[in-house]
C-alpha cells in the first residue's frame, strides 16, 4: 500500500482583523499561532484551503 503524499504548511500571517472565513480556514488547517507548522495530506481540498489564504500561510515542504 502506497503512503499518502503530504505537504508541510506554516502560518506566516496573523488572523487579527481578517474575515471570519479566513480565520475558520486557518483553524480548519490546524493552524492558530504564528510560525506553527502542520503536516497535511496533499488533497485538492487542502490545496483549495491554502489557495484561499495565501497571504497567511506558506508551503514549507512537499
* 20: CATH: 3.30.1390.20
DSSP string, 5-21: PEEEEEE-S--TT--HH
For residue 30, tell me if it sits in a domain. Answer: yes
For residue 55, tell me if it sits in a domain. Answer: yes
Distances (CA, A) of 40 to 14, 33, 49: 20, 17, 12
Residue 2 reports pLDDT greater than 80: no
Domain total in the chain: 1
For residue 28, tell me if it sits in a domain. Answer: yes
**Tens digits of per-residue pLDDT, 26-62?**
999 999 999 999 999 999 999 999 999 999 999 998 8
pLDDT of residue 49: 98
For residue 56, tell me if it sits in a domain. Answer: yes
pLDDT of residue 61: 86
| Nearest-angstrom CA–CA distance, 55 and 3 | 30
Amino acid at each position: 500500500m502506497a503512503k499518502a503524499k503530504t505537504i508541510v504548511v506554516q502560518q506566516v500571517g496573523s488572523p487579527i482583523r481578517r474575515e471570519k472565513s479566513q480565520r475558520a480556514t486557518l483553524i480548519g488547517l490546524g493552524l492558530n499561532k504564528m510560525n506553527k507548522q502542520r503536516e497535511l495530506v496533499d488533497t485538492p481540498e487542502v490545496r483549495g484551503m491554502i489557495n484561499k489564504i495565501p497571504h497567511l500561510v506558506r508551503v514549507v515542504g512537499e
